[in-house]
Structure 1
Amino acid sequence: MINMNIGPYNNRPDMGRLREIIRVMTKYHFGNILEAVGLKNRLFETLKLYIKSPEEVHEPAHVRLRLVLEELGTTFIKLGQVLSTRADLVGREVAEELAKLQDEAPPFPFEDVKRVLESELGVPMEEVFAEFQEEPVASASIGQVHRARLRNGDAVAVKVQRPGIADTVKSDIILMKYLAKLANDRVPGLRYYNLPGIVAEFERAIRKELDYHQEANNVERFRAMFMDDETVYAPYVYREYSTGRVLTMEYVDGVKLTDILKSDIKFNARVIAERGARCYFKQIFIHGFFHADPHPGNILVQKGNVLCFLDFGMMGHLDRSFRDRLAELFILLMNYDVNGIVNQLRYMNILTEETDLEEVKYDIIDLLDRYYGADVRKVGEILTEFTMPGMIRRHRIRIPRDFVLLARVMSMAEDLGERLDPRFNGLAVAWEMTHKLIRNRLNPLRNLDEVPAAIIELEHIMNDLPRGLISALQKLEEGKLKMELEHRNLDEISVRIERSTNRISVAMLVSALIIGSSLVTIPREALILEKFPFLGIFGFAVSFLIALALIVSIIKSRRLS
């Protein structure tokens, strides 16, 4: 397991790396952002040492952002790739641009490869490999892949992690956390995006990618899912020769989909597109565990049009309940059932209490009308549109992360299917699979799988219930039972009650003064000064002033309310 823990001792940002980030951002004309977070002025003198003359960049902002991330290297490229899956936060235009980020890097020397291998495996290379090609077949920012042959003759692909990359990533994440908090504190407009949360999500994702044990687990799980499917394949993992920094897998011969799309290689494109759609819908609806980067370079086509998936660093997860709801949502989308779609989104906790259901209904109608025609194919596109920032802010909806990832994956898969065969319609496969899933839900035997979990939960309840009741009764008897009540706006209600009570008291006082003043004006009872009932008139005057003040106060409060 790769140690990515960031302790209190080394959590200070690397100021040299910070200067580099500022230099690159200034170079691509993002100085306004630096000024907003208070960095440009602070390090301006240092910047003079790095920037002789900022080059003119005429590209739009989303393109310049991609160039910044590319120049800053591994960690920032990976951050861009994660953000490319979050169109709900950055918008479609930025997400599509960041999806172009290529994780490529110059290969590191074979001496370093050998040192990492022997350190991780604990034995000399010659004891494990009969052959090992020094030139890598692929090189990326985190690791590179070499072709080799084990002592037993098996051909393998060995993925070796780049030396020092874990420390580099750790240092950059500390810096990202610092910058995210700075931006969140100083730029109110950025708080909607929850930058510290984005960095935390990215940290979780890259932790997994740095740990080759996790990728090995993903490969084996995927392989088990399609063990009985002759149209889909995943390489075998050699666990005895794999560690947190070395991953040894079966070497698979095949042609990458990127090469098939660019050349006239003879494959049945329609069969490949149909099998790819069926495979993805199985991953999503049946297993709830799906390959989250269906890039053409990550899929090989073997003889017989068999699809072999590679690179299992990024995977999506959907629980059983969410898959069931998703299948129902698909059927409602394909039937153009707007009321059903709105209700389904409520069941999925995507619509919140703050959502205006009528307004969101009109937006869904507009969205469906843009895609519905003689032949509906773009369910992935519809889902992606629904996760856009404008829709989220306008209707205050809540989008689960894996729902966003799912929408992106489906959109990419639909696009790949159309590039292979323009006549291809993956929704026919989706329709068949979702209906099959709904039929299976009606099967009484399906619930048998849930019986053991239900029995365990019932046993816990039966064991805990008597103890809880006895404890509650004892506290009640002893007068120690406490209740916590959550109140909302009680302070405001209390103020209003107090204000009303004060007004009633004043009104009663005024009434008493008026009555008293009336009595003392009777000549027999009055204190007469030169035949004038002075005390009674004085009481009337005080009552009048108090009553006038009370009326003015009431009029003002009504205007303000």
Structure 2
Amino acid sequence: MKFSPFESKRPDMNRIKEIVSVLAKYQFGNVLDDLGLRNKLFFTLNLHLRDPEEEFDSSVPERVRLVMEELGTSFVKLGQVLSTRPDLVGKDIAEELSKLQDEATPFDFTEVKRVVEQELNNPFEETFIEFKEVPVASASIGQVHEAILKNGERVAVKVQRPGIVDQINKDIIIMRYLAGMVDQRMPSLKYYNLPGIVDEFERAIKKELDYNQEANNAERFRASFEDDETVYAPAIYREFSTLRVLTMEYVEGVKLTEIIDSEIKFNARTIAERGAECYFKQIFINGFFHADPHPGNILVQNGNVLCFIDFGMMGNLDQDFRDNLAELFVFMVNYDVKGMINQLQYMNMISDSTDIESLKYDLMDLLDRYYGADMNQVGELMSEFSMPTLLIKHKIRVPRDFILLGRVMSMAEDLGQRLDPNFNGLHIAKKMVKRLIKDRLNPLRRLDNTTSALINLEHIYRDLPQSITRSLMRLEKGNFKMELEHKDLDKFTETLERITNRISMALLISSLIIGSSLVIMPNEALILQNFPYLGIVGFLVSFLIALALIISIIRMRKI
């Protein structure tokens, strides 16, 4: 699968007209006006634009979601990515976009058969004993069919929708085009960095379109929970999986959506608690987490076992970030504002110019809104911490991973509360905090990093003599270079220049006074034909030069 360089391609104007039509339909005419699209394109469109004074029933967040839904696959996926970025689109829009359902009409079975045979390079009948034509599930990127392999094993086969890569390619070109227009013509929206959002979306969608990547994700997730009897992930059949076909173990279970909306007998509280514990483990222990905790992506098996079935959207956290995040999380859960500030400074998330006292009171206000007898929304607290108001005011640099985590945890907690109204995320979080503290204080934990530390030490031991020798040779030859970084030296230079100019002007004025005195003293001046011509000429030349210098200094404001 190859994505062409979008910058070298022109956007599809017919598709842009379609986008303009949808925006107009849902009352975003003001955006079209700001971008100059209404006058440029509407004369070719037979559109009925609503009267600006006509009321529209739904709110702005809902209208944004409706626009995404109507524009199809690429924009639904973009909406899902943006739902994890409340720091950019705001809490209300992020929550509304999280409702986007990735469902689509199934494509014809003849296309399914063609894609499978082409990808597996084998006739259909030689691979499967049975292959059900009606899909188990159908989404915008692909659909899943139940099948039985030649060896008799029951599998689920995920087949990518034909033409979807080209369609998404074209839409990303348009997204770049529109994002560039917004960046140029709507300065108030520059903060949101729309071109950057398109880049982020492109990275996410490329991973989701690559079924080999999803197979890697599934195997890694399965391995991380192989010793946990409460969480399960299906096995992957690599020999029957390619870029556009993914074959995995067929698992029985009931979707969480069906448990939430029906009277099916499961222990809802156990499921909610296991779900929360599972996500805390993914984030703080494994560093590899499911980034789309939609109830349709999770099955419940006998014994209240959670089974994850979709691994297209996953998140990664390195060890250092997990350690720092765990410490910040401990302070946050324990209502330790001072500890939070110290940790933010350690993580370089706040600068020296941040007003610590003001930040302290804002953090206290934030924690007060969530702590108390009914406090149960840890993920919501993390999402609130990532809101633009707090970030901009205190110049906090929050990593994207932190923002994504807050959103994912918030969605997981919401799922827990829908299963059990009495679900308390803080209770689960405090249990995890005890485990994190225990792990952090365990001296044996450092043994995990022994190999890496020894290798780094060996590099130093091996390279240090050569580095010292090279430095001494450069110093001996006079080739030793030193770079200095100055702070506020420009201000010092400017001040020194002004002082020098003032001294120069004082000397000039003094010289003119002395010169003029000599000119008017005939006995002291050089006289030709009873008049001191040379003295006056010299005085005038000096005066003009001094005047030009004074004017130059004043113009440069260096006095």
CA separation of 1:41 and 1:470: change in aligned 2, threshold 3 A: farther
SS at match of 2:468: helix
Q: Separation in 1 of the partners of 2:132 and 2:489?
A: 74
Aligned 8 A contact 2:378 2:425 in 1: no
The one-letter code sitting in structure 1 at the alignment partner of 2:313 is: M
2:189 is matched with 190
Q: Separation in 1 of the partners of 2:61 and 2:435?
A: 42
Q: Separation in 1 of the partners of 2:462 and 2:39?
A: 64
The one-letter code sitting in structure 2 at the alignment partner of 1:254 is: G
1:51 is matched with 47
Q: Separation in 2 of the partners of 1:87 and 1:512?
A: 70
CA separation of 1:74 and 1:465: change in aligned 2, threshold 3 A: same
CA separation of 1:132 and 1:478: change in aligned 2, threshold 3 A: same
1:341 is matched with 340
The one-letter code sitting in structure 2 at the alignment partner of 1:145 is: V
Residues 182-223 of structure 1, C-alpha deviations (whole Å, 9 max, x = no match): 221222112111111111011000000000111111111111
Aligned 8 A contact 1:223 1:233 in 2: yes
Displacement of 1:484: 4.0
Displacement of 1:118: 0.3
Residues 63-98 of structure 1, C-alpha deviations (whole Å, 9 max, x = no match): 221111111110011001100100000100111111
The aligned runs of 1:452-491 (5 Å cut-off) are 452-487=451-486, 490-491=489-490
Q: Separation in 2 of the partners of 1:8 and 1:192?
A: 22
The aligned runs of 1:503-542 (5 Å cut-off) are 503-514=502-513
Q: Separation in 2 of the partners of 1:311 and 1:189?
A: 38
The aligned runs of 1:360-371 (5 Å cut-off) are 360-371=359-370
2:376 is matched with 377
Q: Separation in 1 of the partners of 2:506 and 2:42?
A: 68
SS at match of 1:45: helix
2:419 is matched with 420
1:328 is matched with 327
CA separation of 1:493 and 1:200: change in aligned 2, threshold 3 A: same
1:316 is matched with 315
Residues 30-71 of structure 1, C-alpha deviations (whole Å, 9 max, x = no match): 23222323333332332x3x4245596442222221111111
TM-score, L = length of structure 1: 0.90
Unmatched segments (≥5 aa) in structure 1 = none
- Greater displacement, 368-377 / 215-224: 368-377
SS at match of 2:39: coil
Q: Give the 4+ runs in structure 1 shifted more than 6 A.
A: 518-524, 533-536
Displacement of 1:312: 1.0
- Greater displacement, 28-37 / 176-185: 28-37
- Greater displacement, 497-506 / 419-428: 419-428
Q: Separation in 2 of the partners of 1:8 and 1:474?
A: 49
Corresponding position: 1:25 with 2:23: yes
Q: Separation in 2 of the partners of 1:58 and 1:303?
A: 44
Displacement of 1:435: 2.0
Q: Separation in 1 of the partners of 2:113 and 2:43?
A: 44
1:41 is matched with 39
Displacement of 1:356: 2.0
SS at match of 1:42: helix
Displacement of 1:260: 0.8
How many residues align structurally? Answer: 550
Aligned 8 A contact 2:6 2:173 in 1: no
Q: Separation in 1 of the partners of 2:512 and 2:163?
A: 89
Residues 371-420 of structure 1, C-alpha deviations (whole Å, 9 max, x = no match): 11124322211111111121122122111111111101111122222222
Aligned 8 A contact 1:503 1:550 in 2: no
Aligned 8 A contact 1:414 1:426 in 2: yes
- Greater displacement, 256-265 / 373-382: 373-382
- Greater displacement, 451-460 / 307-316: 451-460
1:15 is matched with 13
The aligned runs of 1:153-232 (5 Å cut-off) are 153-232=152-231
Q: Separation in 2 of the partners of 1:68 and 1:342?
A: 40
Displacement of 1:525: 5.2
The aligned runs of 1:98-109 (5 Å cut-off) are 98-109=97-108
- Greater displacement, 190-199 / 460-469: 460-469
CA separation of 1:53 and 1:42: change in aligned 2, threshold 3 A: closer
CA separation of 1:22 and 1:231: change in aligned 2, threshold 3 A: same
CA separation of 1:8 and 1:420: change in aligned 2, threshold 3 A: closer
Q: Separation in 2 of the partners of 1:306 and 1:8?
A: 47
Corresponding position: 1:267 with 2:263: no
Q: Separation in 1 of the partners of 2:275 and 2:57?
A: 40
- Greater displacement, 392-401 / 133-142: 392-401
Percent identical: 63
Displacement of 1:165: 0.4
Aligned 8 A contact 1:6 1:170 in 2: no
Q: Separation in 2 of the partners of 1:179 and 1:476?
A: 56
Displacement of 1:557: 6.5
Q: Separation in 1 of the partners of 2:26 and 2:344?
A: 41
CA-based RMSD: 3.1
Q: Separation in 2 of the partners of 1:181 and 1:70?
A: 23
TM-score, L = length of structure 2: 0.90
Residues 406-461 of structure 1, C-alpha deviations (whole Å, 9 max, x = no match): 10111112222222222222322322222222222222221111111112222333
Q: Separation in 1 of the partners of 2:133 and 2:183?
A: 47
- Greater displacement, 78-87 / 426-435: 426-435
The one-letter code sitting in structure 1 at the alignment partner of 2:286 is: H
Displacement of 1:6: 2.9
The one-letter code sitting in structure 1 at the alignment partner of 2:508 is: L
The one-letter code sitting in structure 1 at the alignment partner of 2:238 is: R
2:63 is matched with 64
Unmatched segments (≥5 aa) in structure 2 = none
2:393 is matched with 394
- Greater displacement, 37-46 / 51-60: 51-60
Displacement of 1:308: 0.7
Displacement of 1:334: 2.4
- Greater displacement, 109-118 / 254-263: 254-263
Q: Separation in 2 of the partners of 1:42 and 1:463?
A: 67
The aligned runs of 1:137-148 (5 Å cut-off) are 137-148=136-147
